[in-house]
Structure 1
């Protein structure tokens, strides 16, 4: 799909721990390979360390004019003036973020249950993450895997941009896009690669090639 409200196609989720070659090196190579958007997801850092990491990363992403999203920490997002924030159903709600942070540009919200699509939180979010599409060791705090049918179902129920994440690589990325995703998010497919730039390039080519 091609959603003009969300032009990004390849979305990289990173943490210090997940990047075998070092976070800044992986992110820079991934951007050169075609990543359009970066999310910093640090579940195990305190706010001070999270903020330090976010500032380093934002300096890099700003130099390439790539949007940086902060996962589930409004204080960090505000202090680094990130492009946006991404939250799940157990995090700070999008409705609260919208009232609290006035300079945000994008609020993402993860969907784990179909009934979430009918909530004010989903309506408030700028985009929705379908998480996870397939089982993956990097997404252990989720309830179920959606599969391709799940993406198709959600696509029929909302016009919001959809980001698909979880177990996606070059071998299945085209199927995921055909099912209705607007964008593919990855962690290990790039962060664990020996050559992050090449991995990103191959994913981007698979995403944008004709159906």
Structure 2
């Protein structure tokens, strides 16, 4: 598997177009401490998704920050993204790996024990547990896991795959980022905590600092 620095996953969501161009937002996050960028768009047509993903990839060129596409393996392939992040209803990780190849980054969402077992067995490079807290960025029918729920799923994955990076998502700001990292997260995935803040640059830096401090220093 690939070694992934998951300390700060900045998710550039299609709903952020009212704020600014998505490639520019991705570049801003990468310059201020994001260690991986994810493009998510639940409503855009395929052509627009590919064009946007290509533009994000170009905006990140030379940054050293990897770029994955949420859900859509076809968009990841067509745009030249570094990989894909999969949910429980998406393509199986095994199939995605066969299509994208061994160098591609593949992440997987974990919401419950069944998902955790799937992550343990799957050919993935990281997992992300959530939603940990309530969020306004996505319509989520599942109740928040909370810290205790996160800790339980994290422990299950760690026992079987101790080297697999595991992040946390949903409702995370700088204060919560430190808390969740102390509880076992290798990093956090954030949308509103960065891109809906008044000062996106400072919000990104503060999130990264909070995670680094909780993990015991500036390390992947």
Q: TM-score, normalised by structure 2?
A: 0.87
Q: Report if the CA contact (8 A) 1:37-1:68 is conserved.
A: yes
Aligned equivalents of 1:182 and 1:120: distance in 2?
A: 15
Q: Distance in 1 between matches of 2:154 and 2:182?
A: 11
Q: Are 1:197 and 2:201 counterparts? A: yes
Do the aligned residues in 2 keep the contact of 1:133 with 1:165 (CA within 8 Å)?
yes
Give CA deviations for 1:30-74 in whole Å, capped at 9, x if unaligned.
222111110000110111010000010000112312100011111
Contact 1:94/1:121 (<8 A) preserved = no
> In structure 2, what is the Cα distance between the partners aligned to 1:142 and 1:124?
27
How far is 1:122 from its partner? Answer: 4.8
Q: Distance in 2 between matches of 1:72 and 1:16?
A: 13
Determine if contact 1:131/1:166 at 8 Å carries over to the other structure.
yes
Determine if contact 1:31/1:197 at 8 Å carries over to the other structure.
no
**CA distance in 2: counterparts of 1:6 and 1:99, whole angstroms:** 19
The 1-side partners of 2:140 and 2:4 are apart by 26
2:87 aligns with 88
1:97-154 C-alpha deviation (Å, 9 max, x unpaired): 1122226421111111112222377532221110211010112135231111122112
**Which residue number corresponds to residue 25 of structure 1?**
24
Aligned counterpart in structure 1 of residue 172 of structure 2, from 160, 168, 175 = 168
Is the counterpart of residue 75 in structure 1 residue 74 in structure 2?
yes
1:9 aligns with 2:7: yes
Report the RMSD for the aligned CA atoms in angstroms.
1.9
The residue matched to 2:23 in structure 1 has which SS?
helix
Which residue pairs with 1:56 in the alignment?
55
For residues 26 and 41 of structure 1, do their structure 2 counterparts lie closer, same or farther at Cα, with a shift above 3 Å needed? Answer: same
Q: Which has the higher contact order (CA 8 A, sep 6+)?
A: 1
Structure-2 separation of matches of 1:53 and 1:67: 16
- Long gaps (5+) in structure 2: none
Q: CA distance change for structure 1 residues 68 and 202 in 2, over 3 Å: closer, same or farther?
A: same
Equivalent residues in 2 for 1:65-144 (5 A)? 65-102=64-101, 104-119=103-118, 122-144=121-143
**What runs of 5+ residues in structure 1 fail to find an aligned partner?**
none
Q: Does 1:207 align with 2:201?
A: no
Give me the whole-angstrom Cα distance separating, in 2, the residues matched to 1:14 and 1:110. Answer: 17
Asked if structure 1 preserves the Cα contact closer than 8 Å seen for 2:14 and 2:43, the reply is: no
Q: Deviations over 1:172-194 (max 9, x none)?
A: 11110011100111000111122
Match of residue 157 from structure 1 = 156
